[in-house]
């Protein structure tokens, strides 16, 4: 099979805020940049858009870099594997490529943390970020009642998106205590934009020290049992969006062999990973919000193209938003009872119908997979692995090749025999 080859100086993985910022910075001093994203449209979660939800003016301006002469953009394209330190194997719906590069900038973003609780697999239950994605892709919720629960500022953003789409948000349940929220709010004067945003999004349906105990229904969601303090109540609703924060997407970084710290890609002051040819920026290096991701992406793009002076100025700005990220982690840390919502028969792996009890006694993720098939279904552990690591404090297991399901013809390129094909 003839191999399609691409050669470029810089490959950027991800077209969210960090990836777009890295491309913009690098395009000023680089003639060959490849931006790869497995989504069909750029923007990541924060700037996600769809047929009935055009991008904002800010997002549209950021997307302009993808039309720069030095930039080639491959959307709906997935990375199958790394073939050595300077080559990636890619695939989209029709083609496969081997891409040779000098430098790689990982801007892989984050994944929503979904934790199991009774009824969480019922139709009508989604993640908080998942709800936003569904709305922007055309989900009709006008006249429907919604409960949004979990932890973090994403809950208020999801509630605002639902109300804008015509839904009735009857409850926003934040697991953090009033003391934690007051501590966070008392620091927001340092970030006036964030303070204004919070005041704009706040709703009378918001409750602190509250969390979902169970989603109720037969064939689909009918109601949610919510505990606030010592009191529980059942709230009838059509949809439940429940997300317990975000976790860095480290799958590709782990596959490459980058050093990880605290579940994220470890980087230095210049966004360099432990591998000399690999940079990382944005949420894959730690959850911190779009403002921090933008600055980190710019730093990575500048350093990768020799713009050291410009990078030095950005590094000074970055500390301001790193402090905001620290406040998020401190005040929205999950309470212990949130990690105990699952019962013995609650499904942990919904792809393979593996209950919590079948996994809880395992020593690590690999043992759990061998004994229960947990994580061996269609999503290959993208949901249950993150949940299991948080619930059982297991270290993340290195991903296996291929990183994603791929065509046999593509997998045939992942062999030494094709290494010199033209």
Mind listing the domains of the chain with CATH numbers?
Answer: 5-111+247-329 (3.50.50.60), 114-244 (3.50.50.60), 342-415 (no CATH)
- Minimum mean pLDDT among 134-143, 176-185, 213-222: which range? 134-143
End-to-end CA distance of the chain: 10
Q: Which of 71, 73, 70 is nearest to 15 (CA)?
A: 73
pLDDT bucket at 71, cuts 50 / 70 / 90: very high
Average pLDDT over residues 242-255: 95
pLDDT at position 382, please?
Answer: 85
Surface-to-core class of residue 382, CB atoms within 10 Å of its CB (0-12 exposed, 13-18 middle, 19+ buried): middle
Mean pLDDT of the chain: 93
pLDDT at position 1, please?
Answer: 46
Where does 107-161 show beta strands of DSSP type E? Answer: 110-112, 125-126, 145-150
Report whether pLDDT(310) > 80: yes
pLDDT bucket at 418, cuts 50 / 70 / 90: very low
Average pLDDT over residues 305-323: 95
- Helix %, strand %, coil % of the chain (to 5): 35, 25, 40
Distance CA(175)–CA(165), nearest Å, equals 25
- Minimum mean pLDDT among 7-11, 395-399, 414-418: which range? 414-418
Q: If you write DSSP's letter for every residue of 314-373 in order, what string do you get?
A: HHHHHHHHHHHHHHHHHHSPPPGGGGG---TTSEEETTTTEETHHHHT-SSHHHHHHHH-
Average pLDDT over residues 66-82: 96
Task: Please check whether residue 252 is in contact with residue 281, taking contact to mean a CB–CB distance below 8 angstroms.
Answer: no
Average pLDDT over residues 300-326: 96
pTM above 0.85, yes or no: yes
* Side-chain-facing half-sphere of 384: CA atoms under 13 Å: 31
Average pLDDT over residues 269-275: 98
- Minimum mean pLDDT among 22-31, 185-194, 328-337, 404-413: which range? 404-413
């Amino acid at each position: 099979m003839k191999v399609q080859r691409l050669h470029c100086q810089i490959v950027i993985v991800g077209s969210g805020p960090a990836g777009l910022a890295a491309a913009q910075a690098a395009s000023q001093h680089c003639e060959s940049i490849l931006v790869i994203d497995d989504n069909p449209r750029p923007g990541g979660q924060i700037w996600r858009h769809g047929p009935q939800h055009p991008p904002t003016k800010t997002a549209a301006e950021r997307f302009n870099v993808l039309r720069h002469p030095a930039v080639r953009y491959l959307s709906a394209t997935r990375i199958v594997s790394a073939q050595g330190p300077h080559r990636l194997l890619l695939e989209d719906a029709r083609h496969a490529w081997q891409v040779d590069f000098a430098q790689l900038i990982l801007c892989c973003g984050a994944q929503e943390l979904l934790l199991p609780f009774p009824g969480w697999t019922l139709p009508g239950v989604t993640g908080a970020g998942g709800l936003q994605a569904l709305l922007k892709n055309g989900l009709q919720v006008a006249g429907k009642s919604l409960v949004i629960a979990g932890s973090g500022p994403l809950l208020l953003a999801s509630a605002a998106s639902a109300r804008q789409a015509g839904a009735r948000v009857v409850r926003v349940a934040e697991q953090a205590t009033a003391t934690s929220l007051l501590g966070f709010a008392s620091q927001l004067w340092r970030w006036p934009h964030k303070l204004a945003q919070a005041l704009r999004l706040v709703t009378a349906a918001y409750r602190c020290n509250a969390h979902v105990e169970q989603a109720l229904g037969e064939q689909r969601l009918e109601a949610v049992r919510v505990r606030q303090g010592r009191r529980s109540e059942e709230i009838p609703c059509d949809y439940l969006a429940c997300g317990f924060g975000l976790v860095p997407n480290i799958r590709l970084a782990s596959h490459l062999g980058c050093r990880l710290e605290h579940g994220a890609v470890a980087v230095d002051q210049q966004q360099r990973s432990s591998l000399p040819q690999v940079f990382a920026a944005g949420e894959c290096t730690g959850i911190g919000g779009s403002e921090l991701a933008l600055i980190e992406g710019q730093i990575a793009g500048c350093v990768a193209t020799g713009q050291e002076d410009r990078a030095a100025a950005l590094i000074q700005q970055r500390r301001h938003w790193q402090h905001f990220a620290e406040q998020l982690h401190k005040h929205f840390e999950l309470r212990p009872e949130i990690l105990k919502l699952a019962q013995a028969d609650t499904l942990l792996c919904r792809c393979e119908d593996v209950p919590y009890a079948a996994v809880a006694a395992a020593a690590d993720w690999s043992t759990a997979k061998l004994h229960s098939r947990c994580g061996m279904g269609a999503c290959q552990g993208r949901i249950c692995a993150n949940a299991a690591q948080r619930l059982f404090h297991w270290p993340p297991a290195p991903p296996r090749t291929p990183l994603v399901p791929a065509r046999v013809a593509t997998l045939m390129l992942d062999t030494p025999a094709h290494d010199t094909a033209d």
